[in-house]
Amino acid sequence: MMKSIGEYIEEHSTRETEALEWIGKQTHIRTNHARMLTGAVQGRFLKMLVEATAPRRILEIGTFTGYSAVCLAMALPGDGHLDTLEINDELEDLILEGFRRAGVEDRVSLVIGDAKESLARLRKEILEDGNRPMYDLVYIDANKREYPEYYRLVFDIVRPGGYILADNVLWDGKVCQDPLPQDRQTLGIAGFNDMAAADPRVESVIIPVRDGLNFIRKIR
């Protein structure tokens, strides 16, 4: 029987850690949305990307069960830190246990609440109060309807030369359909991709990893 490309890729990529395996299993057991899990291949990509770009301050929008946060945090330098935003307080215990098992609890701050409200507070602390440094990398993987708004909210708190990375930007191919489906999730992602492509302040490339990653570098 012929293997799928996904199976082949996973077999030929470095295996996930025990902590990540635990998060994956618990996600399937304790949630109804395991399809949202980052997974081994994309998680390894995120870890290696952080190792390659060496950010010290990372912001994640959309923690879910913490798999991607662990992958990002594992690769941080010794003085690095990750802030991760999650709206679902019922996942907090699972997330924090995953951080503890992975040994990254001291490098991650979990913020529970609406992402846009949390981002507005972070913007104020960085741009007005001067109490926080700018972010080197922002990873967006939350409400697809709100991707354009997330982009607007985070842009000014990413340092020049920093990165914005967004997940699910191919959206099962819906963004390629003509006419474009008019559901709010597809419109949000398509609008985000159009926004990044037209923004002269950035350079961007969509990478067809899993459901698509838009890799955006802020040049000014």
The model's pLDDT over 127-143, given as tens digits with 9 standing for 90+, comes to 998 888 999 999 999 99
Residue 61: name the closest of 40, 39, 81, 87 by CA. 87
Residues 63-119: tens digit of each pLDDT: 999 999 999 999 999 899 999 999 999 999 999 999 999 999 999 999 999 999 999
Position 2 pLDDT exceeds 80: no
In tens, the pLDDT along 188-201 reads 999 999 999 999 99
pLDDT at 151: 98
Q: Which residues of 33-62 are buried (b: 16+ CB within 10 A; e: fewer)?
A: ebebbbbbbbbbbbbebbeebebebbbbbb
The helix or strand, by DSSP H or E, that contains position 205, with its residue range, turns out to be strand 202-207
pLDDT at 1 over 90: no
Tell me: pLDDT of 164 over 80: yes
Domain residues of the chain, as ranges? 5-218
Q: Model confidence at 6, in pLDDT bands (50, 70, 90)?
A: confident
Write down the pLDDT at residue 101.
98
Confidence at residue 3, expressed as pLDDT on a 0 to 100 scale: 79
Domain 5-218, what fold? Rossmann fold (3.40.50)
Query: What pLDDT, on a 0 to 100 scale, did the predictor assign at position 161?
Result: 98
Phi, psi of 141 (to 5 degrees): -155, 60
Written as one string, the DSSP assignment of 74-119 is: HTS-TT-EEEEEES-GGGHHHHHHHHHHHT-GGGEEEEES-HHHHH
pLDDT digits (tens, 9 = 90+) for 18-77: 999 999 999 999 999 888 999 899 999 999 999 999 999 999 999 999 999 999 999 999
Confidence (pLDDT) at 130: 87
